[in-house]
Amino acid sequence: MSTRMRAARLHSPGEGLIVDTIDRPELRAGDILVRVASCGVIPNMNAIFSGSLWNHLPPLPASVGLDAAGTIAAVGGDVVDFKIGDRVYVNPWLSCGACSYCRAHEPMLCSAAGFQGYFGFFPQSRRVLDAYPIGGFSEYMTAAPNRLVRLPEEVGFDQAARFGYLGTSFAALRAGAVGAGSWVAINGVTGTLGVGATLLALGMGATRILGLGRNRAVLDRVRALAPNRISTLALGERSIAEWLREQTEGLGVDTLIDCSGRGAEASHTADALGGLKRGGVCVNIGALTEKLAIEPIKFMTNRIRFQGSNWFTTGEGQLMAEMARVGVLDLSKLDTEAFPLDGVNEALARVKQRPGGFTNIVVNPGR
């Protein structure tokens, strides 16, 4: 095995990635080396790589790529549970293991959290990014075994490269206690998070899924996934709260998953909150930035909650792999558009066109 490899790197924020030949990462005793088969390309990626957001980019030039899946090519001497040839998804969430949150077993709250191949949440995230400096748009990358999701044969690498956004939706549905017989509304149902949330809610046993979105063609496609369980409403057509109540015997939904993101209108979220059942919960995963007008008294008297959720645990990733193995999470509904490593900038341009949540855009570094 050559000690050199190809990797797409960000040299300058806002400019295209450059495919360089660099040293393969050194394998530490506690880590594994993955030969990357596929890495996801997500809507937010261009904004992050522009360097204009609050996130802290790794030192440049940086090997990037967030959601990688592939085959284990080598294992460090201290690794016991994985072997060469195992198929895995690499959860890029990095936590420090030592901060107050990590010591309380809350790695999702880590004070130095970062995403391998993407960015750090805080200036001090630099140390976790330095420990795992290679992203998924590379032929090889290293990872710690506790971040690996084992992939059954039934889950393709291109499908697993969607696990980041799927997992974000899954964790939100779990935070919203979605299960057998749940009534769920999904705001932004036509996007990457929304389509994933729909597929997962179907698998988790939700019986009424009420989707809100703009693109009518994609709304129709969402509804066609399970016409007896899914209804959709085009945003702007009428009052969301009224419609949600009409669909739920006047009660409202148990859970609202709000996927509306940067640039979306908060008024739709405010309207949808009026369609929550008493005791219900709204979980935001879209990173809505516009100020949201709420009436706190309704949160009090109706005992409703508004909460945020970001990313997911490796354990939740493993649950999704198991759901996909038996088909209750039906990933065959997604259309994959795969690009070779040399086409990484075309893949990033493609995702900018917002092709809709059914389109799964990936880069295959080995191709």
Nearer to Zn ion by Cβ, of 22 and 99: the residue is 99
Nearer to Zn ion by Cβ, of 29 and 104: the residue is 104
295 burial (CB, 10 Å; 0-12 / 13-18 / 19+) is: exposed
Residues forming beta bridges with residue 6, ordered by sequence position? 21
Binding track, positions 42-81, relative to Zn ion; x by CB under 5 A: ----------------------------------------
Residues binding Zn ion: number (CB under 5 A): 5
Angle between helices 216-224 and 192-204 (to 10 degrees): 20
Nearer to Zn ion by Cβ, of 21 and 100: the residue is 100
d(CA 92, CA 135): 9
Nearer to Zn ion by Cβ, of 183 and 311: the residue is 311
Q: Which of residues 309-328 bind Zn ion (CB under 5 A)?
A: none
Contacts with 4 (C-beta within 8 Å, 6 or more apart), sequence order? 21, 22, 23, 24
Q: How far is CA 297 from CA 242, 300, 303, 304, in A?
A: 19, 5, 9, 10
Rounded to a whole number of angstroms, the minimum distance from the CB of residue 279 to Zn ion is: 33
204 binds Zn ion (CB under 5 A): no
Nearer to Zn ion by Cβ, of 95 and 142: the residue is 95
3 state SS of 367: coil
Rounded to a whole number of angstroms, the minimum distance from the CB of residue 47 to Zn ion is: 25
Rounded to a whole number of angstroms, the minimum distance from the CB of residue 109 to Zn ion is: 8
Rounded to a whole number of angstroms, the minimum distance from the CB of residue 30 to Zn ion is: 17
Evaluated on CA atoms 155, 161, 162, 168, the torsion sign reads positive
Q: Which of residues 81-110 bind Zn ion (CB under 5 A)?
A: 95-96, 99, 102, 110
Q: Which of residues 267-306 bind Zn ion (CB under 5 A)?
A: none
d(CA 142, CA 31): 6
d(CA 239, CA 273): 11
Nearer to Zn ion by Cβ, of 96 and 282: the residue is 96
Structure tokens at 179: 């299960």
**Residues near Zn ion (CB under 5 A):** 95-96, 99, 102, 110
